[in-house]
Structure 1
């Protein structure tokens, strides 16, 4: 039942099949807010990419990491909209759990940023080459735990709880909205990984 030679084009076939699905909006008023939730997630991702591009170019900002904190705060609102706009109780419980993990992540991120600014007198100097993980190893461990929770990875995937809540906030989503949600989720994992390497391992490791 594999598409193509040894299933090489199976993923592409599943992608086309998913695009062919149709979401019916209008059967309830709240379903239209799900589109707005996806827009919030896409905008947060695009702003994060823009800030990331500032680090890779000659443009420098002393407050770039603070911009990331603001963007990640709005990302939680997008997930809340996705869960609230669904009539499934699993989606609602999932978005509530994810919102609590977002608050925990923002608290830890804020503490790390305060420490970062105190040690380096700024929040975005690309010339930093020190290794913060050797200075504050406990902070690095706390950051790893909260990062796993923020990205909904096991064993801290509060959004799905290893399929206890079925598929979390995406239970009733399909087609383009489903693709947008998952694309933003995995793209933000790249941004989080880059921030971790920048803060704790220094700019020389990037």
Structure 2
């Protein structure tokens, strides 16, 4: 029979720390892992008979920490509203967008920063709205907005994905195409005036130029419509 490893107290404490147990108050001794106490569980881990991840409070704590990291560092604006549309939480990127701290926003109605009837609609119908394109002129902010109703807590999760730069580039491209159309039309008009004045000298060349320019104009118009 193989002798089981007998861990020293220091090793047991190190394992307990990895499980998020730093003092006696952290040792819940819930028994969900199959061991009567967290101390016994740590011994089993040192002997290779169990794993830290089998600790339910540990996994719950890890999930909460991960969620908090995502909430804090996400590039998306994230808000939690209660059923009355009162702001309960907002992440740092949201504070930056609305130029208000979470302390200033907490327990205030969402309408103090955004006038959007869709929040009330989701709260009333309990139906989600996913990836709707919105524009808030007061912030010059374009985004994909998702409003998710969370039945368990009777609350709303709101997520904004910033597409302001993307929309800006689309507008710039549209303006370039519009300018190109204006230039093309100007060239066509000028060519036709010249053609009328010296038609006998240019002959078919003017007609061919007009056809080519009209084709270019048509292509630009089709791209603009797309």
Greater gyration radius = 2
More strand by share: 2
More helix by share: 1
RCO greater where, 1 or 2, for CA within 8 Å and sep 6 or more?
Answer: 1
